[in-house]
Structure 1
Amino acid sequence: MDHASDHEASDRQLTEEQAHERADLDSVVSRVSDRFPTVDRERVESVVDDEAAQLEDARVRDYIPVLVEHEAVDRLRQEADPVSLVKRQTDDTDDEPQDGDGRDHDPALRPEREGAQTDTAASAGPLLGGLRGGD
């Protein structure tokens, strides 16, 4: 294989990687738009594009969509209230208010409510609990 063919194959791979990353970023826009229904989709796209541009020179590209989503959610959280993406099963006896931050489904993250774990070793799980001297 000659040098020109190697270069063309490299360009084709780069283009495929860029297309895959763009598709991942489009998925980020969809997820963040679902999380912030009161924010225009164009605004979400703009924030996602801004955050992606901040990471344009990153060598490791595998985590770009995750990092972009995290930063976009942080920025938009300052502009609007997110909705919880966790669908709770409700019954007639469940009258607890929900925060809307997605944490209300996990009792360990809301220790002030009845039934939550308050033991730090137990709430840290088996790995961290063991590291902290728990079981």
Structure 2
Amino acid sequence: MAASAPAPHTTDFPVEGRCSYYVEKKKRFCRMVVAAGKRFCGEHAGAAEEENARKRILCPLDPKHTVYEDQLSKHLKKCNSREKPKPDFFIQDINAGLKDETEIPEQLVPISSLSEEHLENLIKKLQKASEGFYFR
């Protein structure tokens, strides 16, 4: 006979040192570690423990987690969901293409079609731009 996979450990009570909050959606107890002398982890302490304890609120940057109301300003500075500063070289939508269909991209013009005056101006600009370069 082939050996079957071991059945998951199911109990009607939480593991010692772990959160006692029952997660109905997952049909199991929360597996977060609790602080010494506590029954619930930091996430579930407000929902299930003391009524007069510090109040926890949803993080305004990411409502997937909660923070203590009195520590909100400190949390907003270090929350991983805060907007991070963009590097100096970052340009929004640089490779996005045309913004709308009516926008016309620059057209390439062959040098042979330029007027003499325009061509001379172009040569002067190129000479000025290349001043200081050493060519072999």
TM-score by length of structure 1 reads 0.26
* More helix as a share of residues: 1
* More strand as a share of residues: 2
TM-score by length of structure 2 reads 0.26
